[in-house]
Amino acid sequence: MQRVLITLTGRRSISTCSRRLIRTAPQLHAIALAISFSAALIAPCTAHALSLAEVYDAALGHDPVFAAAAKQKEADDANVAIGRSYLLPNVSANYAKYRDVTGTTYFGQPQGDVSVHQVYGAYSEGLSLRQSLINFEGVARYRYGKATALAGDATFDDRKQELLVRVLGAYTDTVFAQEQLSLATAQKKAFDEQFAGNQAMFRNGEGTRTDILETKSKSELAQADVVDARDAVDNAAHTLEAMTGLPASLDVAGLDRLNDNYRPTLPSPVGFDEWRDIALENNAQLIAGRHSLEAAQQQVKIVKAGFYPRVDLVASIGKNQSNTVETIGQRYLTKAIGVEVTIPLYSGGLVQASSQQAQANYERAEFELQDKTDKVLLDLRKQYNVCVSSLTRISALESAVESATVQITATKKSVQAGMRTNLDVLTATQQLYQAKRDLARARYQYLLAELQLKRAAGTLTPQDLYEIAQWFVPSAQMANVTRSMPLIH
């Protein structure tokens, strides 16, 4: 099967593009995919199969979960400027222009009451400045903004690592589902061959009707497995579509496969204690939790600042003309500068109650951080154990596949010698299918556990995914799984 692959840059450029994230990646991927789809329309017989690295690059520009995390980071970053604003000067200007109509009556005049009607223009303009000199609330809000922004940065780092894990999971789920479909189809074909052989032997008087019924039953069950495998392929392909925006109609069967020569090795460092120390220092969730705890502490100080005085430097300049009845026809220029002190006396218990509430929230954040630490270390140990046990499990399953393959040949010879039955051959065939399926699952589980281990430790980067992608090769270079399934005669 041919593949249409559009390569814009080399492997180094892909890494650079992933760092630019939202700004440049979507445009480049959109151009690449548009060219790919155009080529597919020109040559309908050509299918477009994506590599693991290409799927990750597509997910960077489309995955809605990651896009939402990027916007959340933008919102969190704004907290720094918001907090700083409480410490910077506030400058305001005002201007007003009126047309006044005034009627004035003077009583007790020698000539009697006198009324005067006046129409005149009035205006006022001014500029004022206020700069905090002593502002406990402003300092706490600035530190709160910085802590919140740092927590947002760490959370976004965790979302980037999570995307790497989700991409690998979706890709390997799709490839695994396709491999299981191939194996299920091969098993069905093997049982059909056996069924035809049983019928031929029965017609020649060498077989039994029991052999025919046993094989037919296995064949029907194998057909059910094929149907289930097709559903699994469709579901996995649409999961990949939702993450990348690429249509599920892409050549799923042509996705890169994990090289048969791949042999897992335990990630460095080897000991769990080293991984634990790395995770406590670098795990993005824990870093975000520590910054969130600092933000909660600053929130307590923000509220308690309501007990303390505030000192501001104030300055103003203003010009007024005819702004009162007594100053009609007069213009005033006023300049002022001074220090303003505000001392809170009583607020109805608001500051006291708010302080208690903020303190409770801070203590809650402490417990939440401890809970998050326990969960991270638990997940770290779980993934570490999977990596360690997978080495032995994969080796054992490889031996099981080899043994099951030999067992089928030996069982067929035993049947010919009258030492085994048709059911033994069917059972051996199922064991081979089961061993191949378990081996494929174990290999993909190890890859996923390795990324999850590094994510829990806080060391996962796109380069780790690209290194794994190098072990995936085009399906045309792999031995066809179906051909590796022995036929039974």
Q: What is the pTM of this model?
A: 0.78
- What pLDDT was estimated at residue 478? 60
pLDDT by residue (tens digit) across 332-370?
899 999 999 999 999 999 999 999 999 999 999 999 999
Domains of the chain: 88-134+309-342 (2.20.200), 144-301+349-477 (1.20.1600.10)
Residue 419 pLDDT > 90? no
* Alpha-carbon dihedral 452, 455, 461, 467, rounded to 10 degrees: -20
pLDDT by residue (tens digit) across 240-280?
889 988 876 666 777 888 998 888 988 888 899 999 999 99
pLDDT by residue (tens digit) across 295-335?
999 999 999 999 999 999 999 999 998 777 777 778 889 99
Q: Edge-to-edge strand order for the sheet containing 114-134?
A: 90-106, 114-134, 310-321, 331-342
Q: Is 337 helix (H, G, I), strand (E, B) or coil?
A: strand
Distances (CA, A) of 442 to 234, 239, 400, 445: 22, 21, 13, 5
Distance between CA atoms of residues 380 and 284, nearest Å:
13
8 A C-beta contact, residue 55 and residue 32 = no
Q: 123 pairs with which residues across the strands?
A: 97, 321
Element (DSSP H or E) covering residue 479: none
